[in-house]
Amino acid sequence: MFVVCFLFLIGIVAIAEPIVRFGEQRQYKDRVIYAEQTAFQKIVMTRWKTFYWLFINGQTQFSSFDEEKYHEPLVHPALKLTANRSSILVLGGGDGLAAREILKYPDVRSITLVDLDPKMTNLAQTHPVLLNLNKSSLKDGRVHVINKDAAAFLRDDSNLYGAIILDLPDPDTVDLTHLYSLGFYREIRRRLIRGGIFVTQATSPYFSEKAFLCIKKTLIKAGFSVLPYHNHVPTMGEWGWIIGARSQDQNPLALKKRALTLQFDDLTLKFLNSGAMMSMVHFGKGSVDEKEERDIRINTKLNPELHQYYREGSWGVVDSPF
């Protein structure tokens, strides 16, 4: 009887697995090559022709078609502006693509990468698609992976960093908005060396204008001089980042002037050069650069205004990946 029941259960599992895969596949227009519900999130990878997409909870994290147009602007302006690159902190970035870019600097001695989900960082160290894309960055001896909540890590950490890079998911839940809050930014500011630079992805300045301005205004309130910039990523739409320097280190005008003189010829890059940098720091007429921020509220843990701003965005304008 036990053997019969055991074989029956095996049969159910064998039948259920293709059904689950079929149900997963129906949500995506491209072929699903990997799907897992972890304790923290749903991770899905798809393939179209020779290109790959990574989705977290249904949101596009990157596509191999154009990911350099996101990761190069995220990493290199900040690392060119910092006073010292020897020690870098990455919050998020569990796919290893930001770490890949950081490792292009020979003077980087240590990268601490903090990502909540061990399944994600393990995938980045074992899956052939991600290993090929991230150049095995998370296996490099200079990279120290810590699976921990970013806010908890900052509370417990006492180290200082030349650059802190936030490559976190969009603030589409109240919990995630805490990682874009005033208190969180103040903790980050305390972890920067003198002359250190902070950068965060800041959603889209076009599809989620108020959210972008909320992040900018919250950073200023936290004591940063800020430099907003943007780039068009074909598979994601128009995307934005904000660099922050401690306000006593330099003012916003000086930060922008320095950014306009940056050179990237010493790096092997696919997209970013001095001309692209000049374009990215200018937004054009009628853009967020000219918007009145007076009515934009600061994002705090007790008042997660960013979540509502993000939900009000015109995300329906962007073609759905599903």
Residue numbers annotated as active site: 167
Measured distance between the N- and C-terminal CA atoms of the chain, rounded to whole angstroms: 45
* Residue 51 to residue 235: CA distance in whole angstroms: 11
Q: What angle do CA 208, 40, 299 make, to 5 degrees?
A: 35
Q: Which amino acid is present at 241?
A: W
